[in-house]
Amino acid sequence: MKCSLILAAGLFLLPVGGAAQGISDAQIAAIVVTANQVDIDAGRLAVERSSNDKVKAFAQLMVSDHSGVNKAATELVTRLKVTPQASPTSQALQAGGDKNLAHLKTLKGAAFDKAYVDHEYAYHQQVIDALDQTLIPAAADAELKALLVKVRPAFVAHRDHAKSLQSSRSDER
Amino acid sequence: MRIRPLVTVLVLPIAAILAVPAMGFTVANETRTQVHTVLIEGMRFQPQDLTVAAGDTVVWVNRDLVPHTATSPSGRFDSNEIAPGTTWTHTVRNTGEFGYICTYHPLMKAILRVK
């Protein structure tokens, strides 16, 4: 619950629907890079700390996939000569990510795995909502918008993967 | 009358030689294999259900931003990592129905039917 509240504090700062025009492409770029980096950092911690093979493999996948997405995003904004610009949303995402890491570091074993996977499910759902309601509608550059559309299925796949880990954990009880 | 033996000796063997590649070409046509493409895009294999003939070649094209694999859990084929923007080519030899997944994203599933 604590992690979800931290997460919500970041992504709920995003305006929705008609208010989306308030975000610039430079701010969107920073939000995307931060959103990926936050998940990479959590993944690295889980690779190091988890003793569950499935959770560890998932965490490694998060590191790999989000690094790939960030690489593509960075290449695009560099080519477009867009300099990512911090915003209250990207700053809150980073702060939320830091707090999540601090919380996870207090946990061990099954409690760590549960907190990590639960957060991953909620985090990816929140990012999907942000993509649908704010980031994609607000993106002005066609290539940036296309990139956001292209990365969305990866977030969906990760959310569903986290859900399957939650389900398998329930089955093991 | 003297021409006939010449026809027999020279023309018929030449015709026979010419006929060999012609026959070979016909056989090749009958067994011509096809190349099929499976796009990996949007975290899905497209098409998810593909039917090919034994001897055909299948090319998996990764258009996603993340790496994938095309892996038959039964061990019939395994691409290993297909990096973003790259392809993996596999010629199928045995008939059967082979479900396969991406080992990185195990919810990505598809089937290859070889007839």
Residues of B with a Cβ under 8 Å from any A Cβ are 42-44, 64-67, 84, 104-108
Separation between Cα atoms, residue A117 and residue A123, nearest integer Å: 10
- The answer, yes or no, to whether the previous bond of B47 is cis (omega within 30 of 0) is yes
Residue A173: pLDDT band with limits 50, 70, 90: low
The model's pLDDT over A38-57, given as tens digits with 9 standing for 90+, comes to 999 999 999 999 999 999 99
pLDDT at A124: 95
Among residues A91, A48, A73, the alpha carbon closest in space to that of A141 is found at: A73
Among residues A173, A38, A36, the alpha carbon closest in space to that of A113 is found at: A173
DSSP helix/strand/coil, A1:
coil
Residues of chain A with Cβ-Cβ distance to B104 below 8 Å are: 61, 64-65
Does the pLDDT of residue B30 top 80, yes or no? no
Does the pLDDT of residue A70 top 60, yes or no? yes
Residue A2: pLDDT band with limits 50, 70, 90: very low
> For chain B, what is the mean pLDDT?
82
Residues of chain A with Cβ-Cβ distance to B84 below 8 Å are: 68, 72
Q: What is the ipTM of this complex?
A: 0.81
C-beta atoms of A68 and B65 within 8 A: yes
Alpha helices in A50-172 (DSSP H): 53-79, 88-104, 109-130, 136-138, 142-172
Q: Please state the rounded mean pLDDT for residues A95-109.
A: 95
C-beta atoms of B107 and A156 within 8 A: no
